[in-house]
Amino acid sequence: MSQKKKKIALLFLMFNMFITMGGIGIIIPVLPSYLEIFGVGGQVLGFLTAIFAFAQFLFSPISGDLSDRYGRKLFIVGGLIIYGTAQILFGLASEVWILFLARFLSGFGAAFIMPPVMAYVADITTVEERGKGMGMIGAAISLGFMIGPGLGGFLSKVNLHFPFYLAGIVAIIAGILSIIVLPSIKPQNSDTNSQPRENLISQLVRSVKTPYFILLIVVFTFSFGIANFQATLSMFLTIKFDYSPSDIAIVVTLGGLSGVILQMFIINKLFKKYGEMKVILVNLVVAAATMLLMIYVSGFFMILLISTLFQIATVFIRPAVNTLISKFAGADQGFAAGMNNAYMSLGNMVGPALAGILLEWKLSSPFIFGTFILLGCYALAFGWTRKKAPSLMHAEVK
């Protein structure tokens, strides 16, 4: 593939991830008020977040494996269309069970977008370019998650259903445009078509034997901790401070914007100077500290500041982990990306479900619990690096 086609592909992959994460982010400030229509609260919010992640957990390894065999484009396109349709269904829901069905289908669609996109990036970049490519995808993810809540808070003034309709329509349009614009490529591992496909359990067992297994555990634990924050922040601010969807949108949007700006300009420099593992370790500590501080601060400015610092830390962690896993994966980029998303989804599934229960027990408990999880993740990553991969503390993996 020519450099021009690679650039076009990368830009459109960024666009697709922006649309996907924007659709997820757009519902954050709206959900607390939207769920009041159905007479439900924090526990249902947690389980709605969890079922999205559960679908991703089930299907991400499958999509990664299939994209290794049959190409990335087909699954990206199909995932976007399913994802968009499910978003519209969520807005049309008249019963709580329909909300759960729509969220499961949204997770199913997202599972067929994210791993193939990350694998596609690995296919069209060299090892030296990998950090920059993953950083650009990470920036698109963060930008979508940043723009989404702000847009959701604004569109909720039309009515509470409208943000879901818009997110769905735009995702479907992105899927159609991908058919036209996104180049088709042959995956690095496409010669495995003749091999029998592994089921989810077999793939999880296989992941234990990979050289990057500990990184997958890091993905699970930090996703678990971060999900506590992301799943309960909107409900926490609504209950404790009576924030409106617009107020929540500002808190989430400005934090995300700061993270995106810093990621675009300095993340690759940090990788080159300190290595991805140091970036992960430092920001795990920052994320844990700011999560704990959230329960003690008051006043809009202080809440905005602490939330912003937390989001900057998480924005830096994700591309660092993704880059390391991709470098260790070799030719199995689809499998690695699928397992990466599966472990992340497992954390995103368990975290919000537990956080919703904890939130109704005691308002501050999800943040305290999430802090311990993030510190545990730091201890795990630091211990493994010192014993098994000390070179990660000094230089990039080549």
Tens digits of residue pLDDT in 132-184: 787 788 778 777 766 777 778 778 888 888 889 999 999 999 999 999 988 88
Domain end marker among 122, 150, 183: 183
Going by pLDDT thresholds of 50, 70 and 90, the confidence category of residue 83 is very high
Residue-number span of the structural domain to which 335 is assigned: 200-397
Residue 240 identity (one-letter amino acid):
K
Residue 306 lies inside a defined structural domain of this protein: yes
Residue 345 identity (one-letter amino acid):
S
pLDDT confidence of residue 292: 93
**157 secondary structure, DSSP code:** T
Residue 272 lies inside a defined structural domain of this protein: yes
Residues 211 and 326 in one domain: yes
**Model confidence at 397: pLDDT above 50:** no
Q: What average pLDDT score do residues 255-259 get?
A: 74
d(CA 248, CA 145): 13
Going by pLDDT thresholds of 50, 70 and 90, the confidence category of residue 398 is very low
d(CA 34, CA 51): 18
pLDDT confidence of residue 353: 72
**Model confidence at 349: pLDDT above 70:** yes
Q: Six-digit token pair at 40?
A: 């439900």
Tens digits of residue pLDDT in 197-226: 566 778 888 888 888 888 898 888 877 777
Residues 65 and 141 in one domain: yes
Contact 195, 68 (CB under 8 A): no
Residues 137 and 212 in one domain: no
Residues 230 and 350 in one domain: yes
Which CATH number is 100's domain given?
1.20.1250.20
Tens digits of residue pLDDT in 273-294: 888 889 999 999 999 999 999 9
Q: Six-digit token pair at 363?
A: 């308002």
Domains in the chain, number: 2
Tens digits of residue pLDDT in 14-41: 999 988 888 877 777 788 788 888 888 7
Domain end marker among 153, 183, 213: 183
